[in-house]
Amino acid sequence: MAPKPDISQITRIGIVGAGNMGTMMSFGFSENGLDVSIWDVSEKNVDQAREMAEQTKTLKGKIDHFKDIHEFTKSLNSQPRKIFIFSITHGWPADSVLEKIRDDLKEGDIILDGGNENYRNTERRQRELEPKGVKWIGMGVSGGYQSARRGPSMSPGGDKEAIEFVLPLLEKFSAKSADGKPCVQYMGPRGAGHYVKMVHNGIENGMLSAVCEAWNFLNKSLGLSYEEIGKIFEKWNSEGELRNTYLIQIGSEICRMKKTPQGDQHGEGKGEGYVLDDVLDKVVQDDDNSEGTLYWTVMEAANRHVAAPTIATGHFFRVASGNRAQRLKVVENLKIPKPQRVDAKDKDNLIENLRRAVYASFLCSFCQGLELIARASKDEGWDVNLGKCIQIWRAGCIIQEDHIADMLEPILLNAKEPIMNLKLIDEVASDLRKNFDALKLITLRAIEWDNYVPAISASLEYLKYVGGGMLATQFMEAEMDFFGAHAYDRPNVKGEDPGKPSKGAHHYEWRPA
């Protein structure tokens, strides 16, 4: 390996991808005093990025825009190590770019893949580049394009020496928590960093589903205006268990964003009313393959035997939303009642219970996601510290939630051994238990009023069955033994109850074959 250089010798980085994220990252690094080279396969993107840079007055480091990829890589040759950040779509695009620059890479160079990549692809590229001495780092970047400018949350994983080398640059660029700590840490070897980011996005969607369900409940059933809902979200975000929750905070802004008479000629239509009225109800990132992290999370949860229904049902909710044309045909065929508008006498009490139900769903989503990371870390030998996950999620990311972070961070950081089941933490169990009645009430009212509560109701059922001592699956096990001789264990028998999650000791011939 090349002689170890000093990070102070790195004065320029190369960004691959001049879309929203890449361009904003180039601004962020420049505003922190670093020179930036940026390239994109689309010359139009390069031109747009250049125009935006020319109009930005806060840049400190120089930003050079390239249309020739080899000129782009050569611009980094004066340094002992070339440092790249990839900000492009997962899958083949990264392989395509890597193939283009492979001959321009030398021992010691570092590529930080900031895309939402599948962790197995990350590990494959790490193996491919190892003989060349080039380090491929899977680095989750959270917070969207706005945080990419102002400071995102980042979860790098891979070669520890390479990550520790670039960490001072990343710490300077990253979001900072309220106590000033950078929201970036070494997550673990191989694909650990991208795995953590994948699960972050899974947790995020469980939370997104709960928030949109709350909005719909308030608007469609309780008949509250957008302005009223905005004020409610603002209050939720200011105190209690939902304080400083990013998704609640931006929800308040969305509810209050009014259209202008002329419109903006893009997403905002002309006329009176709210921008939200111009937003259709279809989430298409799963359909157009621009986002894979959520369904990878669902697949991983099933594969690693971690119950994650809040996350999974949030995924299926948006999948159902995506194909609106087909859904509108089903509307005519099924004639399912629409959410009912009601004249609720106990509106304030319902709103408070809704707040508690949303919080409980958030906490369920965190439990499910962190337990999945814990299981994968054990299976893969990554040694991911869940407390560090909470630390980097303190700011700059979508799942920022202060109350949950305050509760979990000290417990997880100081745990003497990995915690595989977060419901065994007394503080978590207490919060879930005391908000169970709110989950139940809101689910009952939503069912009665034909409202949509997939994540909230899934959270309720999750708590019921992970906290149930004898489940209805007793009968399922019997039927499986009937038709498939799957065998079963018996209750109150030493070695069988509770026993291990393996094939039972007994089979009964329910009907002669």
Q: How far is CA 427 from CA 241, 383, 406, 430, in A?
A: 13, 24, 11, 5
**Taking Cα atoms as reference points, which of 480, 435, 485, 484 lies closest to residue 460?**
435
Active-site hit among 117, 123, 204, 401: 204
**Taking Cα atoms as reference points, which of 44, 262, 209, 15 lies closest to residue 114?**
15
| Beta-bridge mates of residue 64 | 37
Q: How far is CA 299 from CA 202, 303, 306, 369, 419, in A?
A: 11, 6, 10, 12, 22
Is residue 197 annotated as part of the catalytic site, yes or no? Answer: yes
Structure tokens at 335: 């004639």
User: How many CB atoms within 10 Å of residue 272?
Assistant: 9
The C-alpha atoms of residue 464 and residue 470 are separated, in whole angstroms, by 11
The C-alpha atoms of residue 323 and residue 462 are separated, in whole angstroms, by 28
β-strands 153-157, 135-142 pairing: antiparallel
Cβ pair 449, 221 in contact under 8 A: yes
Q: Strand, coil or helix: what is 307?
A: coil
Cβ pair 366, 404 in contact under 8 A: yes
The C-alpha atoms of residue 111 and residue 84 are separated, in whole angstroms, by 5
The C-alpha atoms of residue 173 and residue 153 are separated, in whole angstroms, by 9
Active-site hit among 197, 220, 259, 388: 197
Q: Strand, coil or helix: what is 488?
A: strand
Q: How far is CA 5 from CA 10, 137, 167, 299, in A?
A: 9, 18, 14, 41
The C-alpha atoms of residue 475 and residue 494 are separated, in whole angstroms, by 21
Taking the alpha carbons at both ends of the chain, their separation in whole angstroms is 68
Q: How far is residue 121 CA from its own chain's centroid?
A: 18
Per-residue 3-state assignment (H helix, E strand, C coil) for 126-150: HHHHHHHCCEEEEEEEECHHHHHHH
Torsion of Cα atoms, 429 then 186 then 11 then 48, to 10°: -50
Lookup result for tokens 């508690």 = 356
Structure tokens at 55: 């109009």
Active site residues: 197, 204
